Structure 1
Amino acid sequence: MQTQSNLTPRLCARWALPAFSKSSLTEKTMFTKFALAAILCLTMTVAACGMATPTSLTATPIPPTPIPADTATSIPPTPIPAETPTQPPPSPAAMPASAISLLANENEGYALRYPAEYHVVLFGRSICFTLAQTDGVPGTCHVADGLLEVSDMGGRTLANVADELAARANPTIPVTRTEAKIGGEDAILLDNIYSYDVLRQLVVIHHDRVYVFTFLPWTERFDEFQRLQRLYATLTESFTFLRAP
């Protein structure tokens, strides 16, 4: 018995090469029969191939891999030590009399007291307060902790002078202004003046003169900041204008 797969070539050959007479068929008829034979041969070949038994594929299930839950790590907080409060400088009134010296400058019309540990150096119309052994040499004022500069008012107001001082500071850091009193006159206290150092300045006008106090470096990072605070308190609390003759 011949199988369908063995018959397929023979049937294809039979249809592909039919007996015909060139005199009885036109070219159109020949082309039509040849095309039909080729289609039939292709169809039978595909059907024969499809008779093969398909092989089934069985999917092997893969069990999911369990993912352990994240383990929370406890980080203990870092204890922050409490800040030690800065002790305020002693008031000049609480200091012994031997620790305070008196200075009167009649030419510039003022008097004040200052800690006796400081040396006072006169330069021009101004003075500075320094701890250096100076013997009165003005050149040591570049290491001074405090200065008092006197100049003529020249038609300026208190606000004008404060603006001039603030303009010398770093423009990216705002200067803090506080109203104050010194020697019975209105004054302006300037803080956060970042210039050649960190400055605190106090400006006051009396009659036709401008008085500018400068303290530096005015920062708590300064090792001797309490001493500088004591200098500031002693000078400003004792400062007095002398009566004009």
Structure 2
Amino acid sequence: MKNTCLIFTLVMLVLTACAPTSEPPTPVNIPAPTATEAIPAAPTFDNSCPTAKDGFNLHVAEADGYCLLYPADAVVVPQRFIVINPASATADTLGDAWVDIQVEPASGRSAAQVADAKIAEAGEGFGVARSEILLGGEQAIVVDGLPAPDSWRVVFVVNNDRLYTLTFQPWFPSNDPTQPAPLETLYATIIDTLRFMP
């Protein structure tokens, strides 16, 4: 029995000596807390009317509460139309590109509600596309493909409980991004420069 205990003790010593040793745990470096950085405030939207510049005129519709720039080769037809025509056409002849800006009471409706109602009126099968943009600091809904005599793009936006409906027609975008169609230029200019007045 004494031999068995001795052998058992020797085996235990050998196994302990041959067993892998564990290293002491590596200390985890926890960075010291730093002062909380303030999250910058969202930029405020400048609602002041843009300044006319080379190639663009300022249109102010004070009664309707908006102002915008439009290409200098376009004509404003009181009250709602901005038209780009060939030089020989009169201003009241719808030409190469035009936008109709209608203003009416929103009656508590949002731009999304108005757009969704118009899309529902159109029904299925027209390939209507709906997207969102910011227009004059407000969320606006852009709708392409509503049934009409010509292809058009309609933008709905609400400000100060007024519904603004901007209809751009004829909507035939250029296939060459370096040569935008006149309506694309008119659209981009109005979307970029429209401001709502208090």
Under a length normalisation based on structure 2, what TM-score does the superposition of the two structures give?
0.62
The answer to whether the 8 Å contact 2:112/2:140 transfers is no
* Residue 126 (structure 2) aligned to one of 169, 173, 193: 173
Give CA deviations for 1:201-220 in whole Å, capped at 9, x if unaligned.
Answer: 11100012011111122124
Which residue of structure 1 aligns with residue 81 of structure 2?
127
Q: Secondary structure at the match of 1:165?
A: helix
* Residue 236 (structure 1) aligned to one of 181, 187, 191: 191
Quickly say closer, same or farther: Cα 1:118–1:168, change in 2 above 3 A: farther
- Does structure 1 residue 186 correspond to structure 2 residue 139? yes
Q: Secondary structure at the match of 2:90?
A: coil
How far 1:196 moved relative to its partner? 1.7
- Does structure 1 residue 97 correspond to structure 2 residue 53? yes
Q: Secondary structure at the match of 1:193?
A: coil
Distance 1:183 1:116 in 2: 21
Distance 2:104 2:191 in 1: 18
Distance 1:146 1:199 in 2: 10
- Does structure 1 residue 146 correspond to structure 2 residue 127? no
Give CA deviations for 1:141-196 in whole Å, capped at 9, x if unaligned.
Answer: 58752211111112322222102332454731231111110100111111122322
Which residue of structure 2 aligns with residue 55 of structure 1?
none
Q: Which structure shows the higher strand fraction?
A: 2
- In our comparison, the structure showing a higher alpha carbon Rg is 1
- Structure 1: gaps (5+ residues): 1-95
Q: Which structure shows the higher helix fraction?
A: 1
Quickly say closer, same or farther: Cα 1:175–1:151, change in 2 above 3 A: same
Which residue of structure 2 aligns with residue 159 of structure 1?
112
How far 1:130 moved relative to its partner? 3.6
Quickly say closer, same or farther: Cα 1:162–1:206, change in 2 above 3 A: same
Query: How many residues align structurally?
Result: 143
Quickly say closer, same or farther: Cα 1:225–1:171, change in 2 above 3 A: farther
Q: Secondary structure at the match of 1:150?
A: strand
| CA RMSD of superposed structures (Å) | 2.7
- Does structure 1 residue 114 correspond to structure 2 residue 70? yes
Q: Which of structures 1 and 2 has the larger relative contact order (alpha carbons within 8 angstroms, sep 6+)?
A: 2
Quickly say closer, same or farther: Cα 1:127–1:145, change in 2 above 3 A: closer
